[in-house]
Amino acid sequence: MATGSEVGLGVEVAKTLTTEGYDVRLVSAMDRSTYLADPNATTVSLEAGSTMGWKGLVDLAIGIDEFGTCGPGDEVMARHGFTVPAVVARIREHLRYLR
């Protein structure tokens, strides 16, 4: 699940996981209730900010839970794990934990 600027990253992560055989559905959700309607799906949120609004609503909340990082946007995002390889790794790790 992603909204706004995180959707592009979500698209690339979904492509990578799909090629690995995972059944992925990326949702650009303006309404959380639509996204959370499937109780059988493992839910992941991408939030380029605090995950506070997602905790307890999704199975894995990926975000930035600290303050004060400065620099060019792409470098700051990479430092906080907002790259395709880093997000894919976090999701893989979470799914392994569920097995």
Task: Say whether pTM exceeds 0.85.
Answer: no
Question: So what's the pLDDT on residue 78?
Answer: 92
* Interacting residues of 90 by C-beta distance below 8 A, sequence separation 6+: 60, 62, 81
Residue 84 to residue 89: CA distance in whole angstroms: 8
Could you tell me if 46 and 24 are in contact, meaning their C-beta atoms sit under 8 angstroms apart? no
Domains in the chain with CATH codes: 4-98 (3.40.50.920)
Question: So what's the pLDDT on residue 31?
Answer: 67
Average pLDDT over residues 11-25: 93
Residue 92 to residue 24: CA distance in whole angstroms: 12
Average pLDDT over residues 49-68: 88
26 vs 31, more confident: 26
What number of other Cβ atoms are within 10 A of residue 62's Cβ? 24
In this structure, is the dihedral angle defined by the CA atoms of residues 38, 47, 31 and 18, taken in order, positive or negative?
negative
